[in-house]
């Protein structure tokens, strides 16, 4: 029995900044991203029991790890998410 997993972006939403007067090092001063990932499992064999199983993960991504902190590392995210974050935070 072999089980494989495929992760895809189901949707990526950009939310506008929430406070124009906030410090530039505040997450409130920058747009944020909500990403919904679908994780699909497939398996082979009679007792795999996972064919067509889909789970969902939701992530909120902000420009900074915390207000005044270092920039969020999005290198582990899907290429589309990296592109969106790069575009809205440049």
The range of the structural domain enclosing residue 64 comes to 3-88
| Single pTM value for the model | 0.85
Buried b (16+ CB within 10 A) or exposed e, 48-79: eeeeeeeeeeeeebbbbeeeeeeebebeebee
Q: What six digits make up the tokens of 65?
A: 């790890």
12 within 8 A of 42, measured Cβ to Cβ:
no
- What does the pLDDT profile of the chain (90 residues) look like in tens digits? 678 889 999 999 999 999 999 999 999 999 999 999 999 988 765 555 666 788 999 999 999 999 999 999 999 999 999 999 999 999
- Structural domain total, the chain: 1
């Amino acid at each position: 029995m072999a089980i494989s997993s495929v992760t895809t972006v189901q949707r990526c939403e950009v939310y506008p900044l929430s406070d124009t007067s906030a410090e530039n090092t505040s997450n409130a001063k920058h747009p944020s991203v909500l990403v919904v990932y679908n994780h699909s499992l497939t398996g082979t064999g009679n007792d795999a029991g996972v064919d067509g199983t889909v789970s969902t993960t939701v992530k909120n991504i902000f420009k900074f790890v915390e207000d005044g902190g270092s920039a969020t590392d999005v290198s582990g995210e899907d290429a589309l998410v990296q592109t969106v974050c790069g575009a809205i935070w440049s």
